[in-house]
Structure 1
Amino acid sequence: MLRFLPLKLGRLYRCLKLLLVLGLSVVLLMNTHTLFASFQKNELTDRRFVNLNKCPACFGTSWCRKFMNGQVSFETWGRLRFLDMFNVKNVFFAQYGEPREGTRRIVLKRLGSNQELADIDQKICKRAMYKTEFARLNGDVRLLTPDVVEGWSDLVHCPSQRLLDRIVRRYAETKDSGSFLLKNLKDTERMQLLMTLAFNPEPLVLQSFPSDEGWPFAKYLGACGRMVAVNYVGEELWSFYNAPWEKRVDLAKQLMDIAEQLTNNDFDFALYLLDVSFDNFAVGPRDGKVIVVDAENVVVADKRLIKQSERSFLLYLRSVRFA
């Protein structure tokens, strides 16, 4: 009896595989028209697809001209909308083209799942956010201050005024960047900054600590509606799991160097990654450099503020002691 068990299991496995293939074939046949339409149309030129109609409750508009001109397009599999059910993180690979520079690969992010985006829409519709946090930052408010935004996201879990000034000054979704004064931003730009800070601050991390200055993050390119574009780095770290021993040692050394750089640097900001996984790192194909490609969960501590607080506390203890 037992000798026939593997044979039965083999037949069952083949039947299940056949049913799966048939099921996928039926789905493809039912969506034939949609498939052809997906390959023929560049959905990234659709204002509603990139949620440009949601602005100013969006992430920015600096790249909208490139999107609307058709300079950004999904790669092959990214054009198939029925595959979105498997793309929970809403991360897509795309091609970006410039007339003189040719095309290159980039990464597009919605910065959240469909459910998370629906939840933020619901909150906005109920005007809960406008009546509380956002309302206090409209009008003639001069600075973005810690007492208002503390705890909105990991980036501002323990913010200092110096960090917030840096975020505003380096905000890339405004034409007049360079000022740390919140009041110098337009109302729409201010709303976009606050929306990004509260929902997913990854773009602000990439802007405030840019790769051009040596920070180990992917380069921020721009945004249109609720679609953010960042530079494509390379294969994710997990793909090197079976690489030669020397390569794995080099990658491990680079990870430790990243931790050291984020903790001790000339800017006196300590950045702590709260979500450390293979998926959040990528390796450049040419230089083999490890880069952080998911910076949503990053806590930033101002070491100057910590030192200042320590000195103030010591002075207080001395005053109490000799009182």
Structure 2
Amino acid sequence: MSFGFHSAVCLVAVIILYVLTIFNSSLINKCEISKCPLCYGTDMCETIKNLEIILDFSSLEKIFNNLFSVKNVFYGKYKNSGVVLKKLGQDEELVEVLTIVKTLSTSKYREFLRNSVIDTFHGDNSDVKNFYVCELETAEFLLDYFHEKGVTLEQIWTIKQVNVEPLLLRIFEHEKDWPVPKYYGACGRMIIESYCGSNLNHFESYSWRDRALIALRIINAAEDFTIAHELFSLYLTDISPDNIVVDDDLNVFFIDLENGILKMKNNDTRHYNKKHYHHHRSKDFEDESYIFSSNDICSHPLSDHNVYSVCKLILSSQAPWPMMKGGLLHSPTSGIRNHDLFKYIELCVKADDKINRFAVMKVIVNILEELLNIKSI
């Protein structure tokens, strides 16, 4: 019996090793390098070819994703660190892109690419589904900005057609303490970024103190995306528990940055701390679960959109489905159940034109910091 059991274990081990070998060796094939130069980059291709990145099968979740992922997201290891490999864009999306390119004459090729990039960055914003740049000048500036970072025009065009995240991770860099994944690079249609943790819903049953710390860090990140970058404000238009992840130390990271509005800062926003009264103020509509106006956001030097979105979708006890039931700060301890904190959170959601959400946000931050200093909560 013992011999049979050990034989079975050995057989399973051999099968697993075989599967791992097949999947790791075929990883380079998933990148579709043949699509280049109309791809996301090639700087990580040698790394993948040399098997320096291997798929991670250390948990059931990762096994399932790596074997059956319908979203083309894979988990791996690179230099002893967790990484996420994303094959951006569904097959039909890229086929459509390539079909357009094949119709071009050589003389019109680069002119078309440049004009197309600018147009898709700054096209009709009446229905912002993914990513939009407020000013035409900003769209033109971005071409030079990314070129200086070594991104070719073909890569910019392809990325913008499918998913802008690789470009945004070059503006808001993990290495400069932005709460986003570290961007390692790309190979063909695959991008590689750091694994940052589990999505926010995983922490729904954590202690109230832990969730309060996470909430504080989410609020601070929302403010940073609004005012901390030297050149841009980024207004996130798809804030949800699925797009926020938290690591073991309760640090917060925003992932899947393909949905947003980018606005270049001016003198008014650079002096945010001294003068921010004439900013765009988001409106909350009771008959709409969540709505925003890209035109209104872009027509002001500054918007409270990020603050409003975090209050309504993450913190509020009335957060709409499919957000976390009762909000991130649900089930407070008896000592703070009737605390003013919750009143200010709802005020942040319902604020009218006379109420400054940035000021309300500061009150919420101060209260959370004070509560986190109380050991008994």
Q: Distance in 2 between matches of 1:208 and 1:167?
A: 12
Alpha-carbon contact 1:38-1:79 (below 8 Å) kept: no
Q: What residue identity is the alignment partner of 2:225?
A: L
Q: Distance in 1 between matches of 2:211 and 2:238?
A: 21
Q: What residue identity is the alignment partner of 1:105?
A: G
Partner SS, residue 60 of structure 1 = coil
Partner SS, residue 225 of structure 2 = helix
Q: Is 1:96 matched up with 2:68?
A: no
94 and 68 in structure 1: CA distance in 2 versus 1, 3 angstrom threshold: same
Q: What residue identity is the alignment partner of 2:110?
A: N
1:89 shift after superposition: 2.1
Partner SS, residue 255 of structure 1 = helix
Q: Could you tell me which residue of structure 1 aligns to residue 130 of structure 2?
A: 154
Aligned length: 253
Give TM-score scaled by structure 1 length: 0.66
- After TM superposition, the structure 1 stretch with the greater mean CA deviation from structure 2, 157-166 or 205-214, is 157-166
Q: What residue identity is the alignment partner of 2:264?
A: D
**Residue among 55, 60, 67 paired with 1:74:** 55
Q: Could you tell me which residue of structure 1 aligns to residue 190 of structure 2?
A: 227
Q: Distance in 2 between matches of 1:154 and 1:81?
A: 25
- After TM superposition, the structure 1 stretch with the greater mean CA deviation from structure 2, 156-165 or 237-246, is 156-165
**Residue among 232, 250, 253 paired with 1:291:** 253
Q: Distance in 2 between matches of 1:254 and 1:305?
A: 27
Q: Is 1:40 matched up with 2:21?
A: yes
Q: Distance in 1 between matches of 2:154 and 2:267?
A: 28
Q: Distance in 2 between matches of 1:88 and 1:105?
A: 20
Partner SS, residue 256 of structure 1 = helix
Q: Could you tell me which residue of structure 2 aligns to residue 63 of structure 1?
A: 44
Q: Distance in 1 between matches of 2:103 and 2:24?
A: 35
1:124 shift after superposition: 3.7
Q: What residue identity is the alignment partner of 2:244?
A: F
Q: Larger relative CO (CA 8 A, sep 6+): 1 or 2?
A: 1
Give TM-score scaled by structure 2 length: 0.57
Larger Rg: 1
Q: Distance in 1 between matches of 2:122 and 2:268?
A: 16
Unaligned ranges ≥5, structure 1: 1-32, 98-102, 172-176, 180-184, 312-323
190 and 240 in structure 1: CA distance in 2 versus 1, 3 angstrom threshold: same
164 and 139 in structure 1: CA distance in 2 versus 1, 3 angstrom threshold: closer
1:105 shift after superposition: 0.9
Q: Distance in 1 between matches of 2:262 and 2:103?
A: 27
1:309 shift after superposition: 8.0
**Residue among 76, 101, 108 paired with 2:85:** 108
For residues 234-253 of structure 1, what are the structure 2 equivalents within 5 Å? 234-253=197-216
**Residue among 138, 148, 167 paired with 2:110:** 138
Unaligned ranges ≥5, structure 2: 1-13, 270-297, 302-377
Q: Could you tell me which residue of structure 1 aligns to residue 96 of structure 2?
A: 123
Identity of aligned pairs, percent? 26
**Residue among 179, 192, 203 paired with 2:166:** 203
1:62 shift after superposition: 0.7
Alpha-carbon contact 1:47-1:53 (below 8 Å) kept: no
1:165 shift after superposition: 2.7
Partner SS, residue 256 of structure 2 = coil
Q: What residue identity is the alignment partner of 1:138?
A: R
Partner SS, residue 78 of structure 2 = strand
Q: Distance in 2 between matches of 1:135 and 1:213?
A: 40
**Residue among 303, 308, 311 paired with 2:265:** 303
